[in-house]
Structure 1
Amino acid sequence: MSDFDTQPPSTDAVPADARQWGLFAHLSALIGLIIPFGNVLGPLIIWQVKKAEMPFVDDQGKEALNFQITVAIAMLICIVLSFVLIGLLLLPIVGIAALVFTIIGGIKANEGQYYRYPFALRLIK
């Protein structure tokens, strides 16, 4: 049997409603485009409401929250560094990377996969 004959992992292990709430936990960070620090508040609220009911949402909510806290810290550092002009270059890079990784996290959660963000500080365990 070759590597090409293997099947992708089944999403039957994670119920559809847990996958949907995992998706919401990741994509709720996009509220930050409208509300200041909404990128942290969205995942925090969903994680707090659903963590006891669904282990998948508990894991993905913590992951999304840790990543958005990391993004908020990076943005604040970029704002401080903008006084020496390097922050003006880094700010859009951090923003685009956060948007891309957030969307990838939402897609993976909707597929029932446990997604881990790169570069995320694991502050909440």
Structure 2
Amino acid sequence: MSGKYDDLEKLRDLYSKGIITEAEFNAEKAKILNDNREAGVNETTQTADNNNGYCSLMHLSQFSNFLFPGLGLIIPIVMWATRKNESKFADVNGKIIFNWKISSFIYTSVLVILVIAAALVFGTQIAFSGIGNYDTFQGMMDDNPMKIFSLIGALGIIIIPAIAIVVLDFIFTIIGAIKANKGEVWNYPLSIRFFSTKNQ
């Protein structure tokens, strides 16, 4: 900033001594001011690009769960905590990630409870219907096919959404990373908004 003022002062000095004309003075003054404006714009653009890349990595860091369970939660928390006070965009993306993490945990917990309940209900029915009287699974199937199929059906209805959550988690993470890299705020669908994600 001081360099700009020094250059302008030198320019005024040259003009006051009559070394340069008024047209030359104005042209050089405009160049000095424009160079500084462009430098400021470039610095702002670079900061935005750094934040975009950082937020994109924050989304992708959820895949670290594949390396070690729990890392997909710890790494985004650390990344979010590191940058949330410096960048509103990083703060919003951190909140988006954790809205989804909490939501998917709730959905998965409900499905696990339903699987356990279905296994207990149908398992108890099958056990009390005399499963111990059969030497083979085929013998039990011949006498109680509907109970077995209803258990398998109930588990299937519950397990399919669990698989869907895993697939959606993968897809949403990729889309979130791409959108963040472009500087866009994108809330994961099906995500409960525990934290406000308005990018102000």
Aligned with residue 119 of structure 1, among 190, 195, 199 = 190
CA distance in 2 between counterparts of 1:75 and 1:23 reads: 25
Unaligned runs of 5+ in 2: 1-44, 119-154
1:1-125 map, 5 Å: 15-83=48-116, 84=118, 85=155, 86-125=157-196
Say if 1:43 and 1:61, in contact at 8 Å, map to a contact too: yes
Say if 1:29 and 1:68, in contact at 8 Å, map to a contact too: no
TM-score scaled by length of structure 2: 0.52
Unaligned runs of 5+ in 1: 1-11
Say if 1:27 and 1:106, in contact at 8 Å, map to a contact too: yes
CA distance in 2 between counterparts of 1:79 and 1:47 reads: 29
Q: Tell me which structure has the larger Cα radius of gyration.
A: 2
Secondary structure (helix, strand or coil) at the match of 2:187 reads: coil
- Once the two structures are TM-superposed, the CA of residue 35 in structure 1 deviates from its matched residue by 2.8
Say if 1:39 and 1:68, in contact at 8 Å, map to a contact too: no
CA distance in 2 between counterparts of 1:14 and 1:50 reads: 12
Secondary structure (helix, strand or coil) at the match of 1:56 reads: helix
CA distance in 2 between counterparts of 1:64 and 1:89 reads: 23
CA distance in 1 between counterparts of 2:79 and 2:180 reads: 14
Name whichever structure is richer in helix by fraction.
2
Question: 1:69-125 CA distances to partner (integer Å, 9 max, x unpaired)?
Answer: 211222222222223213322211110011101110000001111111111112233
Identity percentage of aligned residues: 27
CA distance in 1 between counterparts of 2:115 and 2:73 reads: 22
CA distance in 2 between counterparts of 1:35 and 1:41 reads: 11
Aligned-CA RMSD value: 1.9
Give the aligned partner of residue 6 of structure 1: none
- Once the two structures are TM-superposed, the CA of residue 53 in structure 1 deviates from its matched residue by 1.3
